[in-house]
Amino acid sequence: MQSIGAEAGKMNGQQMDALLRRFERPLLQYATRILGDSDRARDVVQETFVKLQNEKREQIDSGPAKWLFTVCRNGALNICRKEKRMTYLDQELLETRASEEPAPFETLEQKEASGFLLKILGTLPPRQQEVLQLKFQNDLSYQEISEITQLSVSNVGVMIHNALKTLRQRYGRASRDFLPFTPRTVS
Amino acid sequence: MKVNLDDPNLTAFALGELSPDDHAEMAKAIADSPEAQNYVAETQQFARLLRVEYEADRQQPADTIVKKPQRFSDAARIEAERRSSSRYQWGSLAAAFAIFAVLGALAISTIKREVGRGVTDYAKPGGPKENPPATVEAVPEPTVEMEVAQQPVGPATTAAPPVVSEFREEKQSASKDMAAAGKTRNFALNPSAPKPMPMMRSYASNGAGMTETTEFEPPSRYRQDFNTATYDKVEENPFLPAAANPLSTFSIDVDTASYANVRRFINSGSLPPKDAVRVEEMINYFTYDYKEPEGDKPFSIDLDATSCPWEPSHRLLRIGLKGREVANEKRPASNLVFLLDVSGSMMPSERLPLVKQAMRLLVDKLTESDRVAIVIYAGGSGLALKSTPGNEKEKILRALEELQAGGSTNGAEGIELAYKVAADNFIKGGVNRVILATDGDFNIGVTNQGDLIRLIETKAKTGVFLSVLGVGTDNLKDSTMQKLADKGNGNYAYLDSVEEARKVLVHQINGTLMTIAKDVKIQVEFNPARVASYRLIGYEKRLLRKEDFNNDKVDAGEIGAGHTVTALYEVVPAGAGTTDPAASVPPVDPLKYQSPSAPATTAKSEANGSPEMVTVKLRHKKPDGDVSELTERSFTDNGSKFENAAPDLKFAAAVAEFGMLLRDSQFKGKGTFGAVIEWAQEGKGRDAAGYRAGFIEMAHKAQSLKPREG
C-alpha cells in the first residue's frame, strides 16, 4: 500500500483508508440529506477527506467522527448558501413537517426487505433523521451532536426522544409476526 | 413517585447520556416504576436494533445511494413550496426519471440476456456456458456499472453516448482540479480500498439522462398518476328479512390479502381507504381452532352463536370450516411454476426483492420430488429456469438471484407461457400450480381483463391452479389480482413484509399449495320463526344466486390443507325488535299475484315450528372432480351471551368489528376500537404464532390514528 502520510503529524494511508471505509457511506448519506442531491454530496465528502488529509493528527485523534461530520456539514451548508438553495437551517420548516413520504414502502429501493426499519426512518423529519444517524450510526454523544449541529444538548435530547418514539410506533408490529416454524402433523 | 414516560431524560438515561449525578437520580426515580423500567429496556433494545440496521446499511455497496430518489424529491418538494419557479425541482425530477429510465432500460437488456441464456443453457444440461459459477455466493449481483460495461448495445447505451462522454469530461476535469488541490488520488482512486468511490462511474452513466431526458421516455406510469392503486368499491350486504329471503348463498374465500394491505396502511400511519378493507379477508387471515374433520371428509363444519357484541339485541352466527391437515412429508409432489413480474415497477425493494426472498423461503421447503420453473415477464416474457427438481436448490436460487426488474408488463403472455410449462411438467395426483407474483399492472398487449380471466379460467380446468402474491403499493391492482386468483382456483395473498411471506409460503405452505376441496359453496337457510332478518358480514364479492348452489358449473372458492374459513352473520332474532336503525329493513310491497302462504312454505310448516335457527348446506368438489357433494348441518341457538363465548368467536367478532370500523360501516353498531381491543384480548387464546397479538397491536395503532374514538 502506498503511504501518503509522509509528513509528521498527519494521517498515513492506512489510517485514511480505515476512516474512508468507516465513514464514506455515512457521510454521503448525511450530506445527501442536507443537499438533497447525491452528486454534490459526493463532492462535499471528497473535499472533506481532502481536508482530513491535511489536518493535524491531534485535531482528529480525539474524535474523527465528530471532526468529519462537522467539516462535512459545514461544507454542505456552504454549498446551500452559495447556491441559495433550500436552506437546511430553516429548522422550523423541516422539524415540524413530517417528511412527505406516503408510506415507508414507497421509498428506499435497492435493499432487500431486511432494511424495513430504515425505510420507516425515512419517514421522519430530516432533522430527526440527522440526529439519529449521528447517534446510532456514528456513536456520537449528545454533546458531540450538539457541537456538530449547533443545537443545544437538551434540544438534541428532545429530538432523539421524539424520533425514537415515532419510530417505535411505526415499527411496532414488524418483528412480532414471526416465530420459528414448527410443522404440524396429523395425529 | 410517578415517572413521566414522555420525559426526554428517560431516553437520555436509557442511552447513557445523563451526567453521573442525573443518572443516579433517574435510576432512583424509576426504581419502583415497572412501566418506566420497561420503557428504558425497550428503548435500549430498539437502539441496538437501530445500530444493527445502520451498520448493515453502511456495509451496502455505496453505489446504492444513487438510487434513493426520496432525497431528490424531498428537497425538491420543499423547495417547490418555497419558490414557485424552481429550475432545480425540474432538474431533480428529471434526474429521478432519467435514472428510472436508464436502470429500466439496462434491466431490460439484462433480462433479455438472462432469458436467452436461461433457455440455451438449461435446455442442454451440462452444456457449455461461458462462466459457470460454482456457488451462489460466487456470483456477484450485477451492479449498474458492470451492466454498462457488458452491454455495449442496448437501448440505454445506444442513445446515451454523446451525453455520457460530455458528462464524463466534466467529471474528469473536476477530479483533475481536485487532484491538483490535494492528493485525492490516493483514496479516491486507490484500488486496494474496498469500493473506493465507485459511484464515480455509476453517476457518470446514470447521469447521462440528467441533461437529456427526451431520449428515453420513462414508462408512462411514472409520469402520470403516482398512485394508481385500485380497489373495487365494496357495497356492504344489507339486512335481509328471513321470510322473504330465507336463503343466503355464497362462495367460501380463503384470501387474506386485505388484512396485510390494511396492516401496511396502518403501520405507515394512515387508515386504509374504505374499499381496501374486505372484512371476510380480515377474519380469514386468522386460523381458528375448529374441530378436525371426521373420517375421510375433507373438512368439518363448526357452527356457533353468541350475542352480538356491537348490538347486544342481535345474535352473531359463526360458520367455521376446517380443511384437513396434511403433514408436510405427506404433501404430494409439487410442480410449481413461478411466474414473476420483472417489469420496471417491480424494482423497489418491497417488490421484486421481496418476492425473491419469499421464493427463497418456499424453495427451501421443497424436496427432490418437487419441480420448480421460473417464467418471467416484462416487455416480453421468457423462461428463466426450466422445470428443475426441488433438491437442486442452488440452481433455482441462482436463477432467482439473477432476476432484475425493468421494462413494462405483458402479464397475459407470461401467464400463457407459465401454464404451458406447468402443463408440460404436469404431475398426476400432485400439486400443479402457477405462482404469480406481481404488483398487478398488466398494461401492455392483451390486457383486456375479460380475456385474461377467461384464459385463467380455462387453464384452471386443466388442473393447474393459480396462487397470486401481490406486492407493492402505488400500483397495486388489488381487484385484478383477486379476480385472477378467484378464477384460477387459487388464493391471493398480499406480501407486505418478509414475515408475511413466511406465513403464506412456509407456515401455511400446505394450505397455499395443496387444495383439498374446490368450488366450495355455502347456502344457509334461515328459519323465519327464529330469525327476523340477517346480514352476511363481508363476502360481498362472493355472493352467489340461490340457484348457483346446486349448479356444478358455477365456480366457487377452494380450501387448502389446514385452512380454516369463517363466515359471520349478524342476526336479528324474530320478535326481538331491534334498536339499531341500520337493521331496520324497509318493507317490501305485498305481491300482487301470490299470497304469502304459497304452497312451498306450507309444505314445510311442520319444520317451521322447529327450534332450529338455521340449516347450513355445503357443496364441494374433490380437487380433480367435476361433481359436487352435499353436506348439511342444522343449528339451534341456545342464546348464550358474548361474555361466555368461545375465545375464537370473540376474536373473530373483534376482527369483524375492526373491519367495519375501518370502513366506517353503517353496521358498525356501538363498537369502538377500544372495545375491539378488549374482545380481541379476551379471544386471544394461545396464539402460538403471535398473529393475534399483532392484530391487537394494529388495533391500538388504528385507535391512535383516530383519536376521536374511545
Tell me the chain A residues in contact with residue B472 when contact means C-beta distances shorter than 8 Å.
105
- Chain B touched by A178 (CB under 8 Å): yes
DSSP 8-state assignment for residue B153: S
Cell of B310: 356491537
State which of A58-72, A95-109, A124-138, B605-619 shows the largest mean pLDDT. A124-138
Residues of chain B with pLDDT under 70: 1-2, 59-230, 328, 344, 378-381, 405-412, 440-449, 473-477, 576-588, 594-608, 707-710
Q: Per-residue pLDDT for A168 more than 60? A: yes
B148 and B66 Cβ atoms separated by less than 8 Å: no
B349 to A111: CB separation less than 8 angstroms, yes or no: yes
Q: Which residue of A has its CA nearest to B272?
A: A103
Tell me the chain B residues in contact with residue A42 when contact means C-beta distances shorter than 8 Å.
197, 199-200, 203
Domains detected in chain A: 1-89 (1.10.1740), 99-172 (1.10.10.10)
| CA terminus-to-terminus distance, chain A | 66
| CB–CB contacts below 8 A, A to B | 269
Residue B522, in any domain of the structure:
yes
The strand ranges marked E within chain A are: none
Rounded to whole angstroms, what are the CA distances from B549 to B290, B390, B522, B555? 24, 39, 7, 10
pLDDT at B647: 93
Tell me the chain A residues in contact with residue B285 when contact means C-beta distances shorter than 8 Å.
none
B244 and B391, same domain (yes or no): no
The pTM score is 0.50
Rounded to whole angstroms, what are the CA distances from A96 to A102, A162, B207, B313, B453? 16, 12, 33, 48, 48
B501 and B355, same domain (yes or no): yes
B42 to A168: CB separation less than 8 angstroms, yes or no: yes
Residue among A53, A49, A51 nearest A20 (CA): A49
Tell me the chain B residues in contact with residue A24 when contact means C-beta distances shorter than 8 Å.
62, 197
A109 to B199: CB separation less than 8 angstroms, yes or no: no
Give the Cα separation of A156 and A137 in Å (integer). 15
B209 and B303, same domain (yes or no): no
**Which among A21, A54, A168 has CB closest to B193?**
A21
A16 to B187: CB separation less than 8 angstroms, yes or no: yes
pLDDT at B376: 82
Q: Which residue of A has its CA nearest to B16?
A: A141
A86 to B55: CB separation less than 8 angstroms, yes or no: no
Spell out the alpha helix ranges (H) of B535-633: 599-602, 605-608
B249 and B521 Cβ atoms separated by less than 8 Å: yes
B450 and B341, same domain (yes or no): yes
DSSP 8-state assignment for residue A78: H
Complete edge-to-edge strand list for the sheet that includes strand B299-307? B240-241, B531-537, B564-573, B315-323, B299-307
Residue B203, in any domain of the structure:
yes
B668 and B556, same domain (yes or no): yes
Residue B16, in any domain of the structure:
yes
B92 and B147, same domain (yes or no): yes
Provide CB contacts within 8 A for B316, sequence distance 6+.
B305, B306, B307, B308, B309, B568, B569, B570, B571, B642, B649, B653
Q: Which residue of A has its CA nearest to B348?
A: A109
B320 and B425, same domain (yes or no): no
Tell me the chain B residues in contact with residue A184 when contact means C-beta distances shorter than 8 Å.
325, 327, 562
Q: What is the CA radius of gyration of chain A?
A: 20
Residue B413, in any domain of the structure:
yes
B320 and B444, same domain (yes or no): no
B342 and B318, same domain (yes or no): no
The residue from B481, B507, B533 where one domain ends is: B507
B319 and B335, same domain (yes or no): no
Instruction: Say how many C-beta atoms besides its own lie within 10 A of residue B428's C-beta.
Output: 10
Q: What ipTM was assigned to the predicted interfaces of this complex?
A: 0.76
Q: How many domains does chain B have?
A: 4
Query: Phi/psi at A141 (nearest 5 deg)?
Result: -80, 165
Tell me the chain A residues in contact with residue B71 when contact means C-beta distances shorter than 8 Å.
32-33, 36-38
Residue B272, in any domain of the structure:
no
Q: Which residue of A has its CA nearest to B88?
A: A85
Residue B71, in any domain of the structure:
no
- Chain B touched by A42 (CB under 8 Å): yes
B672 and B545, same domain (yes or no): yes
Write the CATH number for B345: 3.40.50.410
Residue among B562, B568, B564 nearest B654 (CA): B568
Residue B652, in any domain of the structure:
yes
Q: Which residue of A has its CA nearest to B471?
A: A105
Q: Which of A123-127, A167-171, B306-310, B417-421 has the lowest mean pLDDT?
A: A167-171
B684 and B647 Cβ atoms separated by less than 8 Å: yes
B547 and B689, same domain (yes or no): yes
Write the CATH number for B622: 2.60.40.1230
The boundaries of the domain holding residue B475 are 329-507
The residue from B472, B488, B507 where one domain ends is: B507
Provide CB contacts within 8 A for B146, sequence distance 6+.
B140
A132 to B50: CB separation less than 8 angstroms, yes or no: yes
A26 to B265: CB separation less than 8 angstroms, yes or no: no
